[in-house]
């Protein structure tokens, strides 16, 4: 897991009119796939995230993976239902509370120190 600065994440998301959100989704999906020892394709998840009916499932998968990662000793640090609801309304230009909270949870498990520039 790579630690990402929340302020930089929000700034890049807004300055790129939401395109950084796709980069963030690709990178965090790739890290979660590796952590969970799966063989999924993060690029496929980004492509599916661009399709309105399927993006809900991609967000749900991402939330489930983040919650699995953040669970310690059988105790969840955040509810998957709450985190999922905080992803909506999904505005592509501004990161949602759910995206920010997901990154906070990922930062708690990060093994790579914060680097600049953060991508």
Cα–Cα distances in angstroms (integers) from residue 18 to residues 13, 45, 95, in the given order: 5, 16, 8
Q: If you average pLDDT over residues 57-62, what whole number do you get?
A: 90
pLDDT tens track for 61-108: 999 999 888 887 778 888 888 888 888 765 565 667 888 889 998 988
Query: With bands split at pLDDT 50, 70 and 90, how would you rate the model's confidence at 26?
Result: very high
Distance CA 20, CA 43 (A): 14
pTM surpassing 0.85? no
Q: Which residue has the higher pLDDT, 95 or 1?
A: 1
Is a pLDDT exceeding 70 seen at residue 30? yes
Q: If you average pLDDT over residues 20-28, what whole number do you get?
A: 92
| From 6-10, 25-29, 91-95, the region with the lowest mean pLDDT | 91-95
Distance CA 63, CA 87 (A): 9
Is a pLDDT exceeding 80 seen at residue 55? yes
- Tokens of residue 14, six digits: 């807004």
């Amino acid at each position: 897991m790579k630690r990402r600065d929340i302020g930089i994440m929000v700034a890049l998301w807004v300055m790129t009119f939401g395109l950084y959100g796709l980069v963030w989704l690709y990178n965090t999906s790739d890290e979660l796939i590796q952590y969970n020892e799966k063989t999924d394709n993060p690029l496929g998840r980004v492509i599916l995230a661009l399709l309105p009916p399927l993006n809900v499932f991609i967000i749900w998968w991402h939330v489930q993976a983040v919650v699995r990662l953040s669970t310690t000793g059988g105790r969840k640090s955040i509810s998957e239902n709450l985190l999922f609801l905080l992803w909506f309304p999904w505005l592509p230009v501004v990161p949602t509370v759910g995206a920010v909270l997901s990154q906070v949870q990922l930062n708690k498990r990060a093994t790579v120190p914060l680097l600049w520039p953060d991508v």
